Each structure stands twice: as structure tokens, then as C-alpha cells.
Amino acid sequence: MSAPTLTAVRPRRVLNALAARQVRRGAAVVVAICAGMSALIVVTYRTQPLDPAALAALTRNPAIRTLFGEPVALDDAGGFTVWRTGTVLAVLLGVWSMLAATRITRGEEDAGRWSLLLSGRTTLPEAVRWHLGILAVVPAVAGGATAAAMIVAGAGVTGSVLHGTALAVVGFFFVVVGGATAQMFASRSAANGAAAAVLVVGLLMRMVGDGVPALAWLRWLSPFGLMALARPFDTDRGLPVLALGLAAVLLTAGTGRLAARRDVGGAIVGPAGGRSAHTALLGSVPAFAVRRTLRPLAGWSAGVGAYFLLIGVIARSMTDFLTASPEFATRAAAAGFGELGTVRGYAATMYALLAVPVGVFVAVRLAAVAADESARRLTLVLAAPVTRLRLLAAETAAAIGGAFVLVTVAGLAMWVGTATVDAGLGVGDALAGAWNVLSVVALCLGTAVLALGWMPRAVAAIGALPAAGGFLWHVVADSVGAPAWLAASTPFAHLAAVPATTPDWAAALVMAGLAAAGLVAGAIGYRRRDLHT
């Protein structure tokens, strides 16, 4: 009687172990960031509390509410930490969760590694549920670690537990969002795009709901808004978190039903039947690289443009507030956000953030090449008279072009936003500030190509490191007063505050040289190694 039971249990154990192995490294990094940043802010606040008058001014400013959320319980170390890091960590955990979900489900299915697996007794819905179940453990651990770190650092227990729970539920929600889009669309890139759209729309709804009192109800429709409505360390409301958890559970059930309705390799949303063939940009390798970049570029441009349009609209309100509140201006400068008292300085500071999404964009585009290689979609292409270097050059050029389009869209959106409130930022200054971050983006491109040549499994993570990791380290180093040599290890320490100042051409040339070295080393590795399948 025991043998059949063991046989029935074994597939689930194997799949659970496989899913855990696929996400363990990224999970460890995300958990460490969530817990570490939260504890750091609690400790910093306890040593440097805010002035009550400054707190009162902060709660009245709509620009502050739009950017960071409604300021509540700022007289408490835990409340200030939730306000300062809550949305940032929720976005980080949400992005990682949805990308991991699509990678270990649709990504593995696209690569053909689930075909043999699902030819046995394991069904597609079971495989999807088991993988998402293991992945859902990561947000729970991140939330628990965040709560524990805040309590150890000196924050209140009730508020810390509520904040950690809300963070975990947001992460779980985006695990399920990634799993659902993986069932809806036939490719991993399309699933990622749809999941990212959900995240961006949710974030914008939270920002609008916090910034415009008449639209405050929008927060109930956003996972980030529901997280903020919990108000840890203030009223400690559990209903918004419960509502978000219920939505995630219902979406989980729907994801299982979607998986049961399709075949292996299929999708709920299939290509339109009977349409005429679209053969534009299929005549050469460079043209095809441009073609496959256009659709994701459109989505990224919409998100980046909407964000910087909003940033431009609140520019005047933000600078007026910081001019009237020197304590906050001083704290912002200590955290690496100087020059916020002028519109040009404000634009320069916000443009530093632009390097992160654009750097991630180029890393993701090179990671798509590695994914195509792993899924054997490049085998026949490279068997033809197409060299690897030609393919790499085409994809790299398309990524560079896409990055230039993104920063230009951000610059124009910032200019339009500031023009609507007569903030006095010229189109030339707006574009110059946006283009200034291309040196950091070039570093991301160089490291992504380097990873493609030598570590093709980690292209996205390594490629995004100079921008995402560099920006995080820049903020932390300035906040804790790290030694000068350590603070200078991030590229953001050498990024001039354009348009408030002139560009630092020497630093830009050094970063361009490092990027070129990465491109050359990566090209050598890509040419010499075997195809990674």
C-alpha cells in the first residue's frame, strides 16, 4: 500500500525542488534588500528624528504624497520607514515575483523543458500550481524578514508585523499575476509585458489617488494603494491587506482554470487567424532585431513617459516645498538627492532615476537573445551564413537605439509636464538631462554583453547591476555616510546633475571605455563558447 503513495508524491517533490533551485539566488537577494533597507531607515531615523513643524509641512504637500504616498505616523521610526521604503520595496518585490513566475512557467515551457515532464502523470495545471506555490514562499519570507528586522532595529511590533504582512501579500499578488499572464500569452516576453502593465497601472493609480483627494478611491483598486491604506504604526488597518489577499487567492484559482483550458505550448490568447502576413523588417538580421524590439519598446516608452510626465507636473510644487522646508532639503541632500530646491536641480535628480529602467531595458533585450538561444530558436539562424558577431551586433544596436528612444521620451515628457505648470524648464535642458544618463546605460549594455558571452544564464541580473544595484548603493552610501572611496564605487557618484550643471565628460568617457571593454570581452566569449541550450 505504501508504494503507490510514494509514487504519487514523488513528482510533486521533484517539481518543488526544481522550482526552489531556479529562484533561490534571486530570492536571497530580494529578501536581504527588503530587510536591510527597512532596518537601516529605522536606525537612521532614531538617531536623527524629524522636526514637528517639518512633519506638518510634509503632510500638506501634494507632490510629496504623489511621489512617496500619504505621510502618516512620521513621528514614529517605523511609520517613517514604511513611508520612505514601503512603495519602493513593494515595487521591487512585485517586479521580481512576476518575472520569476513567468520565467519558471512560460519560460520553461517555451524552451521545451516541460514537454517531457508533462508527458507523464503530472498535468499542466498541477505543474503551474506547484511552481507558483513554491515561488509564493519568497514574498512570505521577505515580509517576515522585513518585520523582524524592523522590530530588532527598534520599531513597534504591531506596525512592523502589519507592514511585513502587507509587503508579503503584494509580492504574492504579483506572483499570481505573472502566473496568470503566463497562461494567457504564448511567449514569455508577452507575458512579462502584460504583467508589467498591471504593475505600472497599479503604481500610477496609487500615485494619482494619493495626490488628488477627489480620486482617493483609486487606491482601493491598486495593490500598492491597498498596502498604503493599511497605515501601519497609525491606525493599523488589516482590512485592505485582507482585500488584497482575497484578490490574490481568487486570481490563483483563475490561473489554475486558465492552465486547464489550454494545451502545452499553447495560450488562451492566440494569434489572430486569417490575417495577412506582416513581413515588414524581416529582410535581414538587423531589421529583425529592430522589429522584435519595437513592441516592448512601445510598452516601456508608455510607462516611462507617463511617469516623467507626472514628475514634471509636480515639479513646481516639489521645489516650492523644499525651498520652504530647509530641513527636508538637507535630508534629501544627505541621501544623495541634492539640488532639489530648483527646477533644474529637481529634474537632474529625477533623471538619475531614469537610468534604472533604461538600464534594465537594455539588459532585458540582451537577455532575450540568451533566452532564444536556450530555447533553440537561434540554432537554425546560426547554422545559416550568419555569424554570431553579426547577430550580436544587430541586437546590441537595436538595444542602443531603444535606450536612446526611451531617454528622449522621458525628456520630452518631463518638458511637457513642467510646461503645463510653467515651471521654466526648457526643452533643451530637459533633453540634455535625460541624455546625460546614457553613460550609465552604456555600462549596463557592456555588462549585459559580457554576461551573454560568459554567463548566459544571468544576463538580465548582471546587466541591470550597474543601474539598479548602483543606484541602491548610492542612496545607502550617502544615507549612512560611507567612506568616500566606497561611495565612489557606484557610477551614480560620477553622474553630473545635468541640467543644473554641465556634463562630466571625463567620467562619461571612463564609463564609455568600461562599457566598450565589456562589449569586446563579451563578444569574444560569445564567439568562442558553445550554444547554451
Quick check: is 283 in a domain? no
The answer on 298 and 233 residing in a single domain is no
Query: In this predicted structure, what is the pLDDT of residue 444?
Result: 97
User: Are 305 and 260 in a shared domain?
Assistant: no
Query: For the chain, what is the domain count?
Result: 2
DSSP-derived secondary structure for 86-122 = HHHHHHHHHHHHHHHHHIIIIIHHHTTTTTTGGGSS-
Domain shared by 257 and 300, yes or no: no
Provide CB contacts within 8 A for 71, sequence distance 6+: 55, 58, 59, 64, 65, 83
Please tell me whether residues 362 and 251 are part of one structural domain.
no
Please give the grid coordinates belonging to residue 186: 504564448
Identify the domain boundary among 213, 236, 269: 269
**229 and 303 fall within a common domain:** no
Instruction: Identify whether residues 333 and 453 lie together within a single domain.
Output: yes
Cβ atoms of 525 and 453 within 8 Å: the answer is: yes
**Is 0.85 surpassed by the pTM of this model?**
no
Domain end residue (candidates: 237, 269, 301) = 269
What pLDDT does residue 516 have?
97
Q: What's residue 1's pLDDT? A: 46
Check: CB of residue 518 under 8 Å from CB of residue 450. Answer: yes
Rounded to the nearest angstrom, the gap between the alpha carbon of residue 275 and the centroid of all alpha carbons in its chain is 35
CB 251 within 8 A of CB 180: yes
Please tell me whether residues 243 and 306 are part of one structural domain: no
Within-domain flag for 284: no
Of 483, 487, 491, 486, whose CA–CA distance to 465 is shortest?
491
Q: Is residue 279 part of a domain?
A: no
Q: Is residue 278 part of a domain?
A: no
Residues 305 and 173 in one domain: no
Q: Are residues 307 and 182 in the same domain?
A: no
Q: What is the pLDDT of residue 133?
A: 94
In a domain, 275, yes or no: no
Q: Assess if residue 293 is contained within a domain.
A: yes
Rounded CA separation 311/346 (Å): 9
Q: What is the Cα–Cα distance from 279 to 5, expressed in whole angstroms? A: 54
Does some domain include residue 48? yes
Nearest to 303 by CA among 204, 218, 440, 430: 204
In whole angstroms, give the CA distance from residue 194 to residue 301.
Answer: 14
Q: Is residue 24 located within the same domain as residue 111?
A: yes
Q: Give the model's pLDDT for residue 479.
A: 65
Amino acid 333: pLDDT = 58
- Residues 115, 181, single domain; the answer is yes
Residue-range definition of the domain harbouring residue 29? 1-269
Choose one of 269, 304, 320: the last residue of a domain: 269
Mean pLDDT by runs of 10 across the 533 residues of the chain is 51 83 92 93 79 64 77 88 91 94 89 80 89 95 97 95 98 97 89 90 91 89 96 95 97 94 85 67 88 91 92 85 67 56 85 93 92 83 86 96 98 95 92 97 97 91 92 77 82 92 95 97 93 70
Same domain assignment for residues 222 and 298: no
- Whether 280 is in a domain gets the answer no
